Amino acid sequence: MDNTAKASNAGKDKANVKLSVWEKTAYSFTDMAGNLLYVTISSYILYFYTDVFGITAAGAGMILLVARFFDAISAPVWGSIVDHTHTKWGQSRPYFLWLAIPFAVATFLAFTAPGLH
């Protein structure tokens, strides 16, 4: 068997590995937490910006529109970065660990209304 066939078989073996129930549960809780945060932010942020922070509806809508454009550009970039990441912890786990604190700070700041009057 040549090296190409060996590499092909190794790739197939990796693809056929089954996840344990514990691993599936851990992944599902990570996804659930992200989706809960996304739904909470998405449903509350417009109200917060207009009624609590005092921005006009047009201004708040523009902020959200710019954020969606930024997201449309950054999501494929981050996907490519994650696809090319190979660490002993896996592809995406380092980013969950390294970016958890900055993400929490950014979320806190998104809902902070300092007295700037």
Per-residue pLDDT of the chain (117 residues; tens, 9 = 90+): 555 555 555 556 666 788 899 988 988 998 898 898 888 888 898 898 899 888 899 999 999 899 999 999 999 998 999 899 898 988 888 888 888 899 889 888 888 877 765
CB within 8 Å of 49: residues ≥ 6 apart: 55, 59, 60, 63
- The CA distance from 109 to 117, in Å, is 18
The residues that bridge with 87 in the sheet, in sequence order, are 90
pTM of the model: 0.62
CB within 8 Å of 78: residues ≥ 6 apart: 95
User: What are the domain boundaries of the chain?
Assistant: 19-110
Rg (CA), the chain: 21
Classify residue 117 by its DSSP letter.
-
Q: Which two tokens stand for residue 33?
A: 């937490």
Say what the pLDDT of residue 41 is. 85
Rounded to whole angstroms, what are the CA distances from 18 to 9, 10, 32, 83?
16, 15, 21, 20
